[in-house]
Amino acid sequence: MAISRRIVLHFPPRITNQSIVCRLAKDFDLSFNIIKASVTPGEEGLMVMELSGDQRNYDKGIQYLTEAGVKIQSLSQDVVRNEDRCTHCGACINLCPTGAFTLEPKTRKVLFDHNKCVVCELCIKACPPRAMELYF
């Protein structure tokens, strides 16, 4: 069974100079899409990725990461639009770094593409009616 999950990887400082992530593809036939990364050699690293593949390979991949010393958390945060509060002003549109908000040309409604959201949280406080909500 193929699955796809968003996960957060914490790299302890001692392993940030090793190549770890590429082995997910090489050894476990998993594909990954790095959403956010901040990995500096010698410091703790953080990476948010969408990891997909066969369930069994996925489990093996996660086991490999854990054994390599990577701490894994499921993506605990999710940005959701409270449709009742959104006034479709569009203040979010040019702030979002990934272009998750677009205007429907005819109705001038603001559309939110959840799949493009990388949970950077920029929109949350910048939304005038505070319609963007962060869930843990």
Q: Which residues bind another protein (CB under 8 A)?
A: 85, 87-95, 103, 107-110, 125-126, 128-130
Least distance between another protein and beta carbon 40 (Å): 24
Please, what is the Cα angle at 114 between 109 and 119, to 5 degrees? Answer: 115
Q: Which residues contact 71 (CB under 8 A, 6 or more apart)?
A: 9, 10, 12
DSSP 82: -
Least distance between another protein and beta carbon 3 (Å): 36
Least distance between another protein and beta carbon 81 (Å): 14
The residue among 62 and 110 lying less far from another protein, judged by its C-beta, is: 110
**In the chain, which ranges are E strands?**
2-11, 31-38, 45-54, 71-74, 78-81, 101-103, 110-112, 132-135
The residue among 63 and 82 lying less far from another protein, judged by its C-beta, is: 82
The residue among 12 and 128 lying less far from another protein, judged by its C-beta, is: 128
The residue among 42 and 105 lying less far from another protein, judged by its C-beta, is: 105
